[in-house]
Structure 1
Amino acid sequence: MDEQGRRAGAGTRVRTRAGGRSEDVRRAVGDACLAFLAEGRVEFTTVELAERAGVSRKTIYRWWPTHTDVLVEGLSRHVRQVAPPDTGRWDTDVREFAHRIAAYAADPVEVATAAVMASHRHPEFERLVLDQYTPVREAWQQIVERAVRRGDASSEHSPEGVVNVLVSPLFMAPMMMGRKATDEEIERTVAIVLAATRPCPDTAT
């Protein structure tokens, strides 16, 4: 079975046992995986995972038969922490989203994951992370798309480009300065994005 098939299979196995202890086990394994990633450890053993999660190795092998399946479980939980806001206004959406991203970017899991990817020592892990981020980034871009449809934001720039301008400085602060972006830095970034996306009705023909 290829990697995509294994991922789909792992997700199906867990979802069909939703609720109760099954959901508790899934959360425990996902959290344990993220704890290892926060330490910069991509290659941890099933024995270590079972001990940290407080579940049996048999359970892990049954629901997550490969290491990739375990990483998908943890990363899928991590990257979906930032729900895109929908306040009905572009300026408040941008500001709320920026503050959420700043907190997320400073999360130890995110900082360690970025460091692992920057080292290029685990190319398969890099691809896995990028794969998990694809639908998340698409969801983030919907903030811009909604604003354009409402007429709150200019359509001059692509949603992808606007999101990149907004989130990149907020991810850079933890990586380059070892700390979360300050409120002042967040507001400066928000101001830049709002200025760049301000509608220009006078130019309409």
Structure 2
Amino acid sequence: MTVPTRQRSGGRSEQVRLAVGRAVLELLSEERFPFTTVEVAERAEVNRRTLYRWWPTHDDLLAEALTQHARTVVVPDTGSWAGDLRAFAHRVAAFAADPVDLTMTRIMVSGRHPGFNDAVAAHFAPIMQDWHQMLERAVARGEAGTTHDATTVMTTLVSPLFLAPLTSGRAPGPGYVDRLVDLVLDATRPTR
């Protein structure tokens, strides 16, 4: 699953890419999956031949949309582990409650579209590495210990943030997010 490289940025190609990504995200936010290429072409106001040439599979269309969607969870670098973790957790909480992400989570949980699950997992693998760097920076500054690996720490933090809107239909409140962050900060405190 690769998104074809365009020669020019900012021109018509970039406009088409953005329109296609938005169209797929809109369909996902409306819980329209699987969607058809015709639906994407109509929403994006793009010729179907263009879609088939640049995005030959549904996985390619999904990858384009995920690239635009995942940009909203930027890994912070506030200079402190507590600051990074708190800012990140609040960003993830908002991201996980977004209608697009709620639909994606529901699709993944259903188990009916393993190809979709694989595409999402592949897309987020390098993003998870960025998330791990927060802990690596904290360990290097002496603000976090090495008792727990980065995958365990990040999974402990983000899993409840994704689960809460799935079960309640809304983002967890700021107090909940802060208590979760405090729990992770306690668990990662360096041992002396």
TM-score interval, normalised by the smaller of the two chains: over 0.9
Aligned to 2:172: 181
TM-score scaled to structure 1, two decimals?
Answer: 0.89
Contact 1:47/1:57 (8 A) holds in 2: yes
Question: Counterpart of 2:47 in structure 1: which amino acid?
Answer: S
Aligned to 1:96: 87
Q: What are the superposed Cα offsets for residues 107-165 of structure 1, whole Å, 9 maximum, x if unpaired?
A: 10110111111111111111111111111111111100110011111111101111111
- Structure 1 distance, partners of 2:54, 2:159, is 36
Residue 65 (structure 2) aligned to one of 74, 82, 85: 74
- Structure 2 distance, partners of 1:90, 1:119, is 35
- Structure 2 distance, partners of 1:136, 1:68, is 18
Residue 200 (structure 1) shift: 2.4
Q: What are the superposed Cα offsets for residues 30-56 of structure 1, whole Å, 9 maximum, x if unpaired?
A: 010111112222322222111101222
SS at match of 1:11: coil
- Worse-superposed segment, 33-42 or 107-116: 33-42
Q: What are the superposed Cα offsets for residues 36-77 of structure 1, whole Å, 9 maximum, x if unpaired?
A: 112222322222111101222222122112222111111222
- Counting only pairs closer than 5 Å after superposition, residues 100-115 of structure 1 correspond to structure 2 as 100-115=91-106
- Structure 2 distance, partners of 1:20, 1:27, is 11
TM-score scaled to structure 2, two decimals?
Answer: 0.95
Residue 85 (structure 1) shift: 0.5
- Structure 2 distance, partners of 1:109, 1:99, is 17
SS at match of 1:83: coil
- Counting only pairs closer than 5 Å after superposition, residues 17-96 of structure 1 correspond to structure 2 as 17-96=8-87
Contact 1:141/1:160 (8 A) holds in 2: yes
Residue 170 (structure 1) aligned to one of 161, 172, 180: 161
Residue 27 (structure 1) shift: 0.5
Contact 1:174/1:180 (8 A) holds in 2: yes
Q: Give the superposed CA RMSD.
A: 1.3
Residue 20 (structure 1) shift: 1.8
Q: Which has the larger radius of gyration?
A: 1
- Structure 2 distance, partners of 1:11, 1:83, is 24
Provide the aligned length of Structure 1 versus Structure 2. Answer: 192
Question: Counterpart of 1:71 in structure 2: which amino acid?
Answer: L
Aligned to 1:4: none
Specify every segment of 5 or more residues in structure 1 that has no aligned partner in the other structure, as ranges: 1-6
Specify every segment of 5 or more residues in structure 2 that has no aligned partner in the other structure, as ranges: none
Contact 1:80/1:136 (8 A) holds in 2: no
Q: Percent of aligned pairs with the same residue? A: 51
